[in-house]
Chain A
Amino acid sequence: MIHMSLMITDVLIIGAGAVGCAVARELSRYKLKVVVVDKEYDVAAGTSGRNSAVVHAGFNNKPGSLMARLCVEGNAGFETLCKELDVPYKKTGKFVVAFDEEDQKTLQIIYKQGLNNGCKGLRILDGEELKRRLPDVGGISAMESIDTAIFDPFLYTVALAENASCNGVLFRFGEEVKNIEKIEGKERERYSVTTDKRTYKARYVVNCAGVGSVRVAQMLGFNQYKLYPCRGEYLILDKIAEKFLQVPVYPAPKKGIGGLGVHLTPTIHGNIIIGPSAEYIEDGEDYSSTKLIIDKLFDEAKKLLPTLERKHIIGAYSGIRSKQAPPSEGGFHDFLIQEEPECKGFINLIGIESPGMTASMPIARMVCNIIGHSIDLNPNLSFNPIRKGILKFSDQNDEEKDRLIKINPEYGEVVCRCQNVTKAEICQAIENPLGVKSIASIKYRVWATTGRCNGGYCFARIAEILEKDYGINPEDITLRGKGSEYFIGRVK
Chain B
Amino acid sequence: MMERYDVVVIGAGPGGLAAATSAKQHGAERVLVFDRNCYCGGVLNQCIHDGFGLVRYKEALTGPEYAEKACREADKANVEIKTGAMVLSISKDRVMSVVCGNGFMKVQAGAIVLATGCRERTRGAISIPGTRPAGIYTAGVVQNLVNIKNIMIGKRVVVLGSGDIGLIMARRLTLEGAKVLAVIEILPEPCGLQRNISQCLYDFDIPLYVSHTVSRIIGKRKLEAVEISEVDDNKQPISGTERIIECDSLVLSVGLIPENEVALTAGIALNEKTNGIITDDYLQSSVPGIFACGNCRSVMDLADLVSEQGEVAGANATCYIKGEKMKIYMEKQSVFKKGFPEKGTVTCPLCPNGCSIGEYGEKVVGNKCKRGELYFRQEQIDPRRTLTTTVKGIDGMLHPIKIENVRKNELFYKIQNLDKN
Q: Which residues of A are in contact with B by a Cβ distance under 8 Å?
A: 235-236, 285-291, 294, 311, 313-317, 398, 401-402, 405-406, 409, 411-414, 417-418, 420, 422, 439, 452-457, 459-460, 463-464, 467, 474, 478-480, 483-492
Partner of A454, one of B106, B124, B151, B215: B124
Known interface pairs A414-B86, A459-B141; A464-B149 also in contact (CB < 8 Å) = yes
Give the chain A neighbours of B135 by CB distance below 8 A.
Answer: 486
Q: Which residues of B contact A488 (CB under 8 A)?
A: 152-155, 248
Contact with A along B200-220 (1 / 0, CB 8 A): 000000000000000110001
By Cβ-Cβ distance, the 3 closest A-B pairs, closest first, are: A315-B124, A479-B134, A484-B221
The answer to the question of B130 belonging to the interface, with a C-beta cut-off of 8 Å to chain A, is: yes
What 1/0 mask marks residues of chain B from 52 to 86 whose CB sits below 8 Å from any chain A CB?
00000000000000000000000000000000101
Q: How far is the CA of A236 from the CA of B131 in the complex (A)?
A: 15
Whether A314 contacts B124 by the Cβ 8 Å rule is yes
Q: Which of chain B's residues has its CB closest to A309's CB?
A: B272
User: Does A405 lie within 8 Å of B123, measured CB to CB?
Assistant: no
A383 to B33, CA, bound (A): 52
Chain B 391-418, CB-CB to A under 8 Å as 1, else 0, gives 1100000100000000000000000000
Contact B149–A412 (Cβ < 8 Å): no
Query: Is the beta-carbon distance between A313 and B152 smaller than 8 angstroms?
Result: no
B390 within 8 A of A: yes
Contact between A290 and B129, CB atoms less than 8 A apart: yes
Contacts beyond the supplied A236-B124, A313-B125, A439-B134: 9 A-B pairs with Cβ under 8 Å: A291-B215, A313-B127, A405-B103, A412-B99, A417-B36, A459-B141, A463-B145, A488-B152, A491-B146
CB <8 Å contact, B131 and A491: no
Residues of chain A lying within 8 A (CB to CB) of residue B145: 460, 463, 487
How far is it, in angstroms, between the C-alpha of A288 and the C-alpha of B218 when the chains are bound? 9
Q: Which residue of A lies closest to B218 (CB)?
A: A288
Complex Cα distance, B127 from A311, in Å, reads 10
Which residue on A lies nearest to B143, using beta carbons? Answer: A460
Q: Residue-by-residue, is B309-327 near A (CB-CB < 8 Å gives 1, otherwise 0)?
A: 0000000000000000000
Q: Provide the bound-state CA to CA distance between A305 and B370, in Å.
A: 62
A422 contact set on B, CB distance < 8 A:
99
Q: For residue A412, which residue of chain B has the nearest CB?
A: B101
* Distance to closest chain B CB from A38 (angstroms): 15
Complex contact A483–B221 (CB within 8 A): yes
Contact A456–B140 (Cβ < 8 Å): yes
Q: Complex Cα distance A490/B97, Å?
A: 38
Of chain B, the residue at the smallest CB distance from A311 is B125
Question: Which residues 128-167 in B have Cβ within 8 Å of A in the complex?
Answer: 129-135, 137-138, 140-141, 144-146, 149-155
The interface size bin for chain B is 35 or more
With A456-B120, A484-B221 as known contacts, state yes or no: A314 contacts B125, CB within 8 Å: yes
State whether the Cβ of B39 lies closer than 8 Å to any Cβ in chain A: no
Chain B residues whose C-beta falls within 8 Å of the C-beta of A289 in the assembled complex: 127, 129-130, 132
Residues of A within 8 A of B398 (CB): 491-492
- Using A236-B124, A289-B129, A414-B86 as known contacts, say yes or no to A492 and B100 having CB atoms under 8 A apart: no
Q: Known: A453-B122, A474-B151, A491-B150. Is A406-B103 also a contact (CB below 8 A)?
A: yes
8 cross-chain CB contacts under 8 A: A289-B130, A311-B125, A315-B123, A316-B124, A405-B100, A452-B125, A456-B120, A487-B151
Q: Is the CB of B390 within 8 A of A486?
A: no
Within 8 Å by CB of B152, from A453, A454, A487, lies: A487
Closest to B149 in A: A464
Are B88 and A485 within 8 A (Cβ)?
A: no
A161 to B318, CA, bound (A): 57
Choice from B104, B150, B261 contacting A398 with Cβ under 8 Å: B104
The residue among A409, A455, A460 with the most chain B CB atoms within 10 A of its own CB is A460
- Encoded as 1 (CB less than 8 Å from any A CB) or 0, chain B from 113 to 125 comes to 0000001101111
